[in-house]
Homo-oligomer: A and B are copies of this chain.
Amino acid sequence: MSLPLTFTALEWADSRQPKFRQLYEHIRRAILDGQLKAGEQLPPSRTLARELKVSRTTVLQAYEHLAAEGYLSGQAGAGTFVSEQVPDQLIRPGVPAAKAAASPTPPLLSKRGAAISQLPASRAPGSPNLLPFRPGVPALWDFPFQQWFRLMSRQSKSLGFEAFGYGDAAGYRSLRRAIAAYLRQSRGVRCEPEQVIIVNGIQQALGLACQLLLDPGDGAWIEDPGYNGAREAMRLTGVRPIAVPLDAEGLLVKAGQEIAPDAKLAYVTPSHQYPLGVVMSLARRLELLEWAARHNAWILEDDYDSEYRYSGKPLAALQGIDHNNRVVYLGTFSKVLFPALRLGYMVVPPALAEPFRLAKDYTDRGNSILEQATLAAFLEEGQLERHLRRMRLLYQERQEALVYWSEKLLGQALRVNPSDTGLHAVGWLEKDRDDRRVAELLRQHEVIASPVSGYTQEFRQAPGLVLGYAPYGEEAIRGALEKVAEVLEVRGE
């Protein structure tokens, strides 16, 4: 019997793979591509081994595996054959089985999948984190990574083997305890460790809350302008986001009641409205809480960056003055530590702790242990507080630099409102400017600034730029503002 042509083409290309495996793969491809036909006999192992200059064991191993997978059949002594079971239409290349399918253009995605695929990307992959003035990024250069990794190394040694198996989906116990203590003390949140659910960040918390608290089609108030991630998390879970305008005291509860009286939930950022920076007044907080209590509606309180309050104590959380268990409180370590940590938390009413644990369990079984344990130690040892103290001073200086230099270099062309809180400030443009166009031009100068209009839904805002300042020293801030002046064609003094 002469050797089938296919074997003469065999090259031992991949030196990292054992030869029997390369031979196996070669024959498998030849069958699937139709070079070896169903029923065709293969050379005896001895012959093939000699021709290919490999050991007979190599050939036998390859044949055995192919037989085990059903590609080959044969009995001892009777020869080895390509299996008859390999249906024709699958082994010939370029003749898809789907040819006979009823629908000529099958939709790839489900309806909700198609809706998801229409969402705007939150950012281009690979877009830089550390170009001024990208908002939402903390001072990565000033994070005590050495200490962090030292803690991590210590935790890796002190955690038992058991901890590296499957854990509690609600989170690592010590971390939940440390977060509860931290929130009680620094944010006035009323909670026990059992109410704390560890998540991958606020984005996941939003999704879990929408799934558990709302049904598809239910309406939810969102701030306009507001955080786009909240709107997208709602769309992802079939919830209908409803834009509600703001005033100087925060979300206009009365407007919400007019626009969508049947809303089941309100998403708010009361400590530092994103992106405008408004702090929700006590009166408005109480109005919102009363609305929620009267309508059995929910409040999602997103407290994403309240740790950075520059004039003294941060405002107490809405959750802490709610007597009716209508608030789900969300926080993250993306802004106080670093975003790539992907750790956040939610504080849920006691009766919801178990449903949220289950939802997290069936969503992704819980978070990675080592980073949770490292974070727990970081909190327990007071390192978080030390870091926050350092960063507060630094960020305050940087915000001052931003305000100072924008006034000096840009005057009325960019009026930066000082902000008591957070990692960004809004710079208002002159009213005939198109903020999206300005942002585009700035990007060409390697300056990133989010246009305020990019955060709006229904309600127009004056043109402005959201300016993150946390990671940048005075020189970088000044340099970037000089480029802004160039783009806005503001004359130097």
Contacts and interface: CB of A to CB of B under 8 A. Distances in A.
A371 interface: yes
Given A96-B324, A201-B364, A340 B167 contact: yes
A457 interface: no
B323 A90 contact: yes
Contacts of A489: none
A165 B362 contact: no
Contact of A215 (B110, B283, B368): B110
A354 B90 contact: no
Contact of A342 (B211, B340, B367): B367
Given A282-B69, A340-B368, A321 B90 contact: yes
A145 B156 contact: yes
B165 A359 contact: no
A355 B214 CA distance: 24
Contacts of A141: 161
Contacts of A96: 293, 323-324
Contacts of A304: none
Nearest to A116: B359
A354 B117 CA distance: 8
Interface stretch (A98-106, A432-440, A458-466): A98-106
Contacts of A358: 116-117, 119, 121
A170 interface: yes
Number of copies: 2
A340 B164 contact: yes
Contacts of A362: 116, 119, 122, 203, 207, 229, 232-233, 235-236
Contacts of A149: 153, 156
A32 B321 contact: yes
A293 B101 contact: yes
B312 A364 contact: no
A233 B281 CA distance: 41
A77 interface: no
Interface in A127-153: 128-130, 136-137, 140-141, 143, 145, 149, 152-153
Contacts of A152: 152, 156
Contact of A97 (B170, B316, B324, B349): B324
A83 interface: yes
Contacts of A411: none
Contact of A61 (B122, B264, B312): B312
B162 A128 contact: yes
Contacts of A351: 108
A369 B161 CA distance: 23
Contact of A113 (B83, B137, B315, B355): B355
B283 A125 contact: no
Interface in A141-192: 141, 143, 145, 149, 152-153, 156, 161-170, 185, 188
A218 interface: yes
A65 interface: yes
Nearest 5 A/B pairs, CB to CB: A129-B165, A70-B282, A106-B296, A113-B212, A340-B369
5 contacts: A17-B185, A86-B286, A122-B169, A126-B168, A207-B364
Given A86-B286, A145-B156, A207-B364, 15 more contacts: A70-B281, A90-B290, A96-B293, A101-B296, A103-B296, A122-B362, A122-B365, A129-B164, A137-B166, A152-B152, A164-B339, A203-B362, A207-B362, A339-B365, A368-B371
Interface of A: 14, 16-17, 20-21, 24-25, 28, 32, 61, 64-65, 68-71, 83, 85-87, 89-90, 93, 96-98, 100-101, 103, 106, 108-113, 116-117, 119, 121-123, 125-126, 128-130, 136-137, 140-141, 143, 145, 149, 152-153, 156, 161-170, 185, 188, 199-201, 203-204, 207, 211-216, 218, 229, 232-233, 235-236, 238, 264, 281-283, 286, 289-290, 293-296, 312-313, 315-316, 321, 323-324, 334, 338-343, 349, 351-352, 354-355, 357-359, 361-371
